[in-house]
A and B are shown apart, each in its own frame.
Chain A
């Protein structure tokens, strides 16, 4: 399919090459030539492809349920203008902008993305994107190791469990030990435990997430920041809900030197987990350690403003085994989507969306409390929170599902001590009707659980 040649074309081309048949060009040694019959569906006309895949799509019943799912992937409103612009063929079908003269538009858009990330995080510079939030954390840990020459890493247990798992996967490759900092009863990082761990002077870096996996604001205070500095570790801020950057104090303001984040919230579809868009932002002193592509502003041979990929000597195609990372393909198109989202929403819109997330999630928390559950933690939260339902969360979620509701995440999946807590999320798209429906359903379920 999608091949243009007529038989006459093929004949003319073979003649020019000087061979009898295409077969003569293949030159696969006989013993390697494919003989097995492949177990692949026969070719279908386009309308049947559409029909078949649409049928598969319809089997995703979960997509239209009332949902309070979050936990690192968020349902936010994306204006249609984003898709109209990002899906333009020039953007969609471009390769990495190696030829700057015919890629000025994309390069400028990425320069704008880098700037947006800097303005949101308070950092000095940001890369052109990495795969996602989890790999952003893993790559940031490697940056910290390269900066300090140390091979041990500290991460809060309140960091997204998937991010921590990916961090461990990457660190296993480098034989780096990852230690975790305990939680307080309030669902935040135990900063005293953090300070005493750092007194060992062994850690390359320490990572905290804010809002953390439970939705709670979770940053270093002045004493903890001093402990991190005294311990010679690089403080890393993890961001899984980028929208919070529009409202909360920046990672820079509480001392982070690297921000490892996920920007899916900025208009990137949920798409069952990907593609999303990770980012790494940092201070100027770490510029040569940052992984991934960077777009810089320069001039052309006539002195006109021009953008170009820069500091490429850090990267794998030049530095090979001594590169800052092996990353090549990044998530440029998702970064473009996020950039357009930020441009459309603007400061005003983004603040409004953040405020609505705060409002709706508090409305949800009130409904949950009225239904007989209680908030597991009392720390300030952004748009998600843990609710203790008084019985195994998995049972409650199953019961809610029977009532057409995806109530949230069973925290017991990652935190055995919170097996009766559900992580619930509300965004600007969560309606009062949905909250009322959950409240009513939860009341039945929680009451059943309480044995009434």
Chain B
């Protein structure tokens, strides 16, 4: 972060620079708008800045330098699978024949794109043990929503309209209950047991004729494998409910075990986690939705089908929940995911997940030397540690550790999630980091914990090497400033 250290002054906003008429010209001058449209249909002013291309290039280059990504360093953000994003994926997604293909091009003239989608879909089916996948959902949360809409429709068609409860463990991502609420379901939260797992008895206690879906993440957000998943799935099915697999942590079992074999009826993948799609600062993601045989006909439209040697988008699916987005898929990401699939093959994907597990366990045993482990056992691709003991001794909290890591050139782990572990740090190294990187991270963390005991104030003040220090979030929320305003305020 040393490049940032010397760059403490925030660049002005793009709106505060430039001069009208200075913009670099990309197209010829247009005639006055009034020559084409009645004046009353037109806006009177367009208060945007004109900057030269050089101005703009410098501005966003500087902004990039004030942003930390995987390309700059270790990014152990739990639950996010920040592994290396191979550049070949982007190069292929950006091929002219993909990037410039209009979504309404007739199927016969988009066979390559359709084949990409079909081949990826078939591979996902094999890899995760599902009957079909829809590549339509734009992100994991949207796949959850689509899956719950499928469940709702499935039960409605069976006259089971009283199935209005969705069971969600207390370690679940917030999207699970939020998606359930968007489909009119009531959320039933189930507590994790002392082993950090869902106890089948707890599930049985809430199962009934009103159960619609049980949503599970496996391994769960504590990084622990839900080893009694078969029993849970059996109980849910016996009660007439459906099992949903939140694929946020699929990187931990890909190629080694399959949600389909565990009894899941519905699942999503976050290809921006598991299949190395760059996260791009918050998206776009891609959330393929997998279903077992009995739910295939409910998948969102369109669905890619293969007729002999031809592929087509099938819109005519009477039982479908309907479309969930403007156009078919975050297709560019399907290309990236297919490239990653080709790069690895079945064996390679199994290795990816094994190395993720190896790296997580290596970090876990090293960090256990100086931080407490609420669940001291073999983990999967991630684990949680807690600063609770440290806080009692020194006042240093998980947040302070996170900020101190930023000073040492690392991204912070996920903090304060899952909600059931106090002062939680959730660490996911992914399988693309070398032993040397992991050792450097452990050394930094060890030094931070030692500093907590000797000079805690240093950690309360962290970060100090970044372009800004801790940001006043209270002020941001109490007095929201969500946009720049022209000095002379005009009404649009």
Indicate yes or no for A touching B, C-beta below 8 A.
yes
Within 8 A of B (CB), among A108-131: 108-112, 114-116, 118-126, 128-129, 131
Number of interface residues of A (CB under 8 A): 205
Contact flag A296-B481 (CB < 8 Å), given A32-B262, A274-B329:
yes
A370–B17 Cα gap in the complex (Å)? 47
A307–B466 Cα gap in the complex (Å)? 13
- Chain B's closest residue to A406 (CB) is B105
A22–B326 Cα gap in the complex (Å)? 44
The answer to whether A253 touches B492 (Cβ under 8 A) is: yes
The answer to whether A380 touches B139 (Cβ under 8 A) is: no
In the assembled complex, B6 has its CB within 8 A of some CB on chain A: no
A146–B93 Cα gap in the complex (Å)? 39
The answer to whether A348 touches B21 (Cβ under 8 A) is: yes
Contact of A301 among B90, B140, B174, B469 (CB under 8 A): B469
The answer to whether A128 touches B227 (Cβ under 8 A) is: no
The answer to whether B256 touches A351 (Cβ under 8 A) is: no
Provide the residues of chain A in CB contact with B420, threshold 8 Å.
none
The answer to whether A346 touches B48 (Cβ under 8 A) is: yes
A333–B179 Cα gap in the complex (Å)? 23
A236–B352 Cα gap in the complex (Å)? 47
In the assembled complex, B112 has its CB within 8 A of some CB on chain A: yes
Contact of B284 among A305, A315, A333 (CB under 8 A): A333
Provide the residues of chain A in CB contact with B2, threshold 8 Å.
none
In the assembled complex, A448 has its CB within 8 A of some CB on chain B: no
A61–B114 Cα gap in the complex (Å)? 12
Contact of B70 among A49, A54, A93 (CB under 8 A): A93
Contact of A275 among B279, B284, B324 (CB under 8 A): B284
A18–B358 Cα gap in the complex (Å)? 11
In the assembled complex, A193 has its CB within 8 A of some CB on chain B: no
A177–B431 Cα gap in the complex (Å)? 48
- Chain B's closest residue to A129 (CB) is B283
Number of interface residues of B (CB under 8 A): 212
Provide the residues of chain B in CB contact with A126, threshold 8 Å.
482-483
Flag A49-77 by CB within 8 Å of B: 1 or 0 each: 11011111111111101010101110101
A352–B30 Cα gap in the complex (Å)? 4
Within 8 A of B (CB), among A283-316: 287, 293-302, 304-308, 310-313, 315-316
Within 8 A of A (CB), among B196-250: 225, 227, 229-230
Contact flag A69-B104 (CB < 8 Å), given A88-B64, A298-B476:
yes
The answer to whether B482 touches A95 (Cβ under 8 A) is: no
A329–B285 Cα gap in the complex (Å)? 6
The answer to whether A169 touches B323 (Cβ under 8 A) is: yes
In the assembled complex, B281 has its CB within 8 A of some CB on chain A: yes
In the assembled complex, A436 has its CB within 8 A of some CB on chain B: no
The answer to whether B50 touches A346 (Cβ under 8 A) is: yes
A244–B491 Cα gap in the complex (Å)? 18
The answer to whether B326 touches A172 (Cβ under 8 A) is: no
- The interface centre, meaning the residue of B46, B366, B406, B470 with most chain A CB atoms within 10 A of its CB, is B46
Flag B23-40 by CB within 8 Å of A: 1 or 0 each: 111111111110011101
The answer to whether B357 touches A26 (Cβ under 8 A) is: yes
In the assembled complex, A444 has its CB within 8 A of some CB on chain B: no
The answer to whether B25 touches A349 (Cβ under 8 A) is: yes
In the assembled complex, B274 has its CB within 8 A of some CB on chain A: no
Nearest-CB distance from A269 to chain B (Å)? 4
Within 8 A of A (CB), among B162-213: 173-175, 177-184, 187
The answer to whether A105 touches B227 (Cβ under 8 A) is: no
Contact of A22 among B40, B110, B300, B354 (CB under 8 A): B354
The answer to whether A310 touches B477 (Cβ under 8 A) is: yes
A312–B86 Cα gap in the complex (Å)? 32
The answer to whether B347 touches A43 (Cβ under 8 A) is: yes
A323–B491 Cα gap in the complex (Å)? 31
Flag B71-113 by CB within 8 Å of A: 1 or 0 each: 1100101001011111010111111111111111110111111
Within 8 A of B (CB), among A426-451: 428
The answer to whether B406 touches A99 (Cβ under 8 A) is: yes
Provide the residues of chain B in CB contact with A287, threshold 8 Å.
480, 482
- Chain B's closest residue to A379 (CB) is B41
Nearest-CB distance from A360 to chain B (Å)? 10
The answer to whether A297 touches B481 (Cβ under 8 A) is: yes
Within 8 A of A (CB), among B104-131: 104-106, 108-113, 115-116, 122-123, 126-127, 129
In the assembled complex, A12 has its CB within 8 A of some CB on chain B: yes
Of the candidate stretches A160-168, A199-207, A225-233, the one touching chain B is A160-168
Provide the residues of chain A in CB contact with B300, threshold 8 Å.
169
A375–B325 Cα gap in the complex (Å)? 30
Nearest-CB distance from B293 to chain A (Å)? 16
A1–B329 Cα gap in the complex (Å)? 26
Nearest-CB distance from A290 to chain B (Å)? 9
Contact of B41 among A32, A97, A174, A380 (CB under 8 A): A380
In the assembled complex, A385 has its CB within 8 A of some CB on chain B: no
In the assembled complex, A185 has its CB within 8 A of some CB on chain B: no
Contact of B182 among A326, A336, A347 (CB under 8 A): A326
The answer to whether B322 touches A168 (Cβ under 8 A) is: yes
Contact flag A28-B29 (CB < 8 Å), given A3-B431, A18-B365, A105-B65:
no
A75–B141 Cα gap in the complex (Å)? 29
Provide the residues of chain B in CB contact with A103, threshold 8 Å.
66-68, 281
- Chain A's closest residue to B474 (CB) is A298
A60–B99 Cα gap in the complex (Å)? 11
Contact of B57 among A84, A98, A128, A163 (CB under 8 A): A84
Other contacts beyond A89-B72, A299-B471, A327-B142: 9, CB < 8 A = A40-B341, A43-B348, A56-B112, A69-B102, A110-B281, A274-B326, A326-B179, A329-B270, A329-B287
Closest 5 CB pairs of A and B: A122-B492, A355-B30, A333-B280, A273-B327, A62-B109
Q: List 30 A-B contacts (CB under 8 A).
A: A2-B86, A2-B352, A4-B435, A27-B378, A32-B262, A73-B326, A81-B57, A85-B61, A86-B60, A93-B278, A102-B411, A106-B67, A122-B491, A129-B283, A166-B322, A247-B43, A252-B491, A253-B43, A274-B325, A299-B471, A311-B477, A329-B139, A333-B283, A334-B280, A339-B14, A346-B18, A349-B23, A352-B29, A359-B31, A406-B109
